[in-house]
């Protein structure tokens, strides 16, 4: 039975109550909790994270950033060696015999596989967090925002205010703006 977030569920427990909610809503509560902590880390005071995160290399999509932050968890030598063996077997027909070129091709294929698996794991954890009511997900895009992915849209996560409080980050009340009618523009303060 899934336990949904309620304002009273988080009022008294802080971190423990967040983890208790995740324990009933996720097959991997520790991983989902770590993803939630990372989302809260990059979220603004309003609890909104994404669609891009600033990095020293430039802006990066939120989901890809989460994946790269969690990459050290998947870098166990035995698992990486086994993955490299499977990649070499799958690329055997395309290998040229040039050690440097083959190693670069194998490394790129391993990296791509790790990122693909990492993105899937992050998406599963985010789905668990949404199911638990700890955050909301939508997609910001080229021309319009939408609840579904596609058309060049990127993930945006909004952490619930009760979750922010439970994790020790005070939320800022949302600013309500009058929606302009057609032909009107917002006044920028």
pLDDT tens per residue across all 189 residues of the chain: 454 554 455 656 688 889 899 999 999 999 999 999 999 999 988 899 989 999 999 999 999 999 989 887 766 667 777 888 888 888 877 777 887 888 888 888 888 888 888 889 999 999 999 999 999 998 886 555 555 555 567 889 999 998 988 888 877 666 665 665 665 555 554
Beta bridge partners of 157: 49, 137
Angle formed at CA 28 by CA 24 and CA 20, multiple of 5 degrees? 35
Where are the domains positioned within the chain?
7-166
Kindly report the pTM of this predicted structure.
0.75
pLDDT attached to residue 7: 43
Distance separating alpha carbons of residues 67 and 121, to the nearest angstrom: 8
Predicted pLDDT at 6: 47
List the one residue out of 28, 17, 59 whose CA is nearest residue 126.
28
């Amino acid at each position: 039975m899934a336990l949904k977030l309620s304002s009273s569920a988080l009022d008294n427990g802080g971190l423990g109550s967040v983890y208790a909610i995740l324990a009933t809503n996720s097959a991997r509560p520790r991983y989902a909790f770590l993803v939630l902590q990372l989302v809260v880390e990059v979220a603004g005071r309003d609890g909104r994270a994404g669609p891009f995160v600033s990095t020293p290399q430039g802006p990066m999509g939120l989901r890809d950033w989460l994946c790269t932050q969690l990459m050290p968890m998947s870098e166990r030598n035995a698992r990486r060696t086994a993955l490299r063996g499977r990649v070499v077997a799958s690329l055997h027909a395309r290998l040229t015999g040039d050690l440097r070129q083959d190693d670069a091709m194998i490394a790129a294929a391993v990296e791509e596989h790790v990122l693909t698996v990492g993105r899937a794991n992050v998406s599963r954890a985010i789905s668990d967090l949404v199911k638990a009511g700890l955050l909301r997900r939508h997609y910001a895009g080229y021309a319009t925002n939408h609840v579904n992915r596609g058309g060049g849209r990127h993930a945006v996560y909004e952490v619930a205010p009760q979750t922010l409080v439970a994790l020790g980050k005070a939320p800022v009340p949302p600013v309500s703006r009058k929606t302009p009618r057609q032909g009107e523009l917002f006044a920028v303060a």
